[in-house]
Amino acid sequence: MAFMTPDSVTTAPPLLADTAIDDVDLAALAARLGTPLHAYSSSAIRQRIGGLQAALRGLDATIFFAVKANPNLAILQLMSNAGVGADIVSVGELRRSLHAGMPPERIVFSGVGKSADEIAGALTVGIHRFNVESHDELLTLQRLAKVQGVTARAAVRINPDVDAHTHAKISTGKSENKFGVSIDEARRWFAERKQLSHVQLDGLHVHIGSQILTLEPFRLALQRVAAFWQELEQAGHPISSIDVGGGLGVCYRAGEDHPVAAADYVGVIREALAGYRGRLLLEPGRYLVAEAGVLLTRVIRVKPGIERQFLVLDAAMNDLQRPSLYDAWHDIVPVADEPRPLTTYDIVGPVCETGDTFARKRVMPECVAGDLLLIKATGAYGASMASTYNSRPLAAEVLLNQGRYAVVRRRQHFEEMIAGEPPARHWETT
């Protein structure tokens, strides 16, 4: 599993980091741009997209990138250029996708809390489909589409009550989770669909969680969706699209995490939905970008403690929240090409929180102040979840491509961080 209590892990260390990614020298990059620094390999992203597209060959299928995983405009442009659409969960992600050149007809809107304004905005630009998660949302979509004089295409998000065997905070397909509706409720929606004058309810959607490393949860969820699709078709309700969601896991811990191969995953889709003639939608996020990204950081100091040594980095929980939020493992290695003696550290950041901890009891090559380290697999939910906690500016982001790099987010200046905070000079009453 990728998620575990860091204290429980004292196993063998990973190797030293490669000194280059996508033919870009990491030490030179960090020296020029500073740290902490998020870097993404465009070649690795394109390779992951190509592998999934190849596995889908012969199917009427489209990939929609889950924008929340990494909403950087350069990443979205790369996706669009590769023929990938956008799976959005907010109007901000909608605007980012459009700004990056994503055609509206390649955008689907998911999420349990779409506001009326967000729905209206998405209708105005003509997105491809809404993945609807409650009856109130369905009625809101009908009302707003009628006001605009358009017909919205919609899929009902099914909650299949399947355990994804992942971290509880990223499990979305169990009956106790807030996402989707039961098959019984969805059945009632379809029975009443002719009352929806401005919503074409003709799709099914399922997404059971994230960072899934086995095929069985996918197989079980899709079997339940397939049975429901067949039932609906027999009842005279055509289903023109089935959105199988995302959730494919990646390797956060070398030697322990064994992600599902794209061909095997698509094989499960082919088997479960055999005979389906409509369009398939896939919503990978983490799978496409996580392993393509790294967080470069320098050692500020090594601090001896009574019980352990602390390796203090200039990156912190505001730059990468996953270890603090999920007790998530990330491989952390020095960017060096010479062997070093091994030692054990608690690897921490400078933020004033005990939770600002990347790893505990981590065995790794010995480090000294000034060393450049690489935190692996940060391309998803790294910069996208970052904050300015402790008034730390947002880190820079760079896209790497075959020996070249482009800054795709400059390091935030202090003045930019406080730009929306005017002094309290103009007092008003309500």
How much of the chain, in percent, has pLDDT values that exceed 90?
Answer: 88
Q: Where are the alpha helices (DSSP H) in 1-72?
A: 26-33, 42-55
Same domain, 49 and 147: yes
Same domain, 204 and 346: no
Q: Decide if 428 is inside a domain.
A: no
Alpha-carbon gap, residue 18 to 336, rounded angstroms: 7
pLDDT at residue 167 greater than cutoff 80: no
Residue 165 pLDDT class (50, 70, 90 cuts)? low
Q: Decide if 166 is inside a domain.
A: yes
> 316: alpha, beta or left, given left = phi > 0 and alpha = psi -120 to 50?
beta
Asked if residue 393 lies in contact with residue 413, where contact means CB atoms within 8 angstroms, the answer is yes
Q: Decide if 339 is inside a domain.
A: yes
Q: What is the pLDDT of residue 160?
A: 82
Q: Of the candidates 243, 260, 289, which is a domain's last residue?
A: 289
Same domain, 78 and 27: no
Residue 200 CB contacts under 8 Å (≥ 6 apart), including other chains: 151, 152, 153, 154
**What are the φ/ψ torsions at residue 152 (nearest 5 degrees)?**
-90, 135
Q: Decide if 182 is inside a domain.
A: yes
Q: What is the pLDDT of residues 268-318, one digit of tens each?
A: 999 999 999 999 999 999 999 999 999 999 999 999 988 889 999 999 999
Q: Decide if 165 is inside a domain.
A: yes
> Which domain CATH number covers 351?
2.40.37.10
Q: What is the pLDDT of residues 229-278, one digit of tens each?
A: 999 999 999 999 999 999 999 999 999 999 999 999 999 999 999 999 99
Q: Decide if 315 is inside a domain.
A: yes
Same domain, 167 and 254: yes
Q: What is the pLDDT of residue 323?
A: 97
**Which residues of 99-145 form beta strands (DSSP E)?**
107-109, 129-132
Same domain, 323 and 405: yes
Q: What share of the chain is helix, strand, coil (3-state, %, to 5)?
A: 35, 25, 40
DSSP string, 181-208: B-HHHHHHHHHTGGG-TTEEEEEEEE--
Residue 176 pLDDT class (50, 70, 90 cuts)? low
Mean pLDDT of 333-354: 94
Does the N-terminal peptide bond of residue 350 adopt cis geometry, omega within 30 degrees of 0? Answer: no
Q: Are strands 152-158 and 20-21 parallel, antiparallel or unpaired?
A: unpaired
Same domain, 252 and 319: no
Q: Is 352 a catalytic residue?
A: yes
* DSSP code, position 164: -
Same domain, 163 and 16: no
Mean pLDDT of 73-99: 98
Same domain, 280 and 309: no
pLDDT at residue 169 greater than cutoff 90: no
Q: Of the candidates 289, 314, 330, which is a domain's last residue?
A: 289
Alpha-carbon gap, residue 193 to 212, rounded angstroms: 34
> Which domain CATH number covers 175?
3.20.20.10
Q: Between 205 and 170, name the one with better pLDDT.
A: 205
Among residues 352, 420, 423, 425, the one annotated as catalytic is 352
Residue 37 pLDDT class (50, 70, 90 cuts)? very high
What does pTM read for this prediction? 0.92
Q: Decide if 421 is inside a domain.
A: no
Q: Which helix (H) or strand (E) holds 297?
A: strand 293-304
Q: Which helix (H) or strand (E) holds 81?
A: helix 73-81
Q: What is the pLDDT of residue 9?
A: 43
Q: What is the pLDDT of residues 89-112, one digit of tens each?
A: 999 999 999 999 999 999 999 999
Same domain, 257 and 364: no
Domain hosting 391: range is 6-39+291-415
Asked if residue 132 lies in contact with residue 123, where contact means CB atoms within 8 angstroms, the answer is no
Q: Of the candidates 238, 267, 289, which is a domain's last residue?
A: 289
Domain count of the chain? Answer: 2
Average pLDDT, the chain: 92
Q: What is the pLDDT of residues 369-414, one digit of tens each?
A: 999 999 999 999 999 999 999 999 999 999 999 999 999 999 999 9
pLDDT at residue 137 greater than cutoff 70: yes
List the one residue out of 115, 119, 98 whose CA is nearest residue 107: 98
Q: What is the pLDDT of residue 198?
A: 98
Q: Which of 3-12, 223-232, 331-340 has the lowest mean pLDDT?
A: 3-12
Residue 178 pLDDT class (50, 70, 90 cuts)? low
Q: What is the pLDDT of residue 170?
A: 43
Same domain, 261 and 116: yes
Q: Decide if 424 is inside a domain.
A: no
Mean pLDDT of 122-134: 97
Same domain, 327 and 399: yes
Residue 338 pLDDT class (50, 70, 90 cuts)? confident
Same domain, 115 and 201: yes
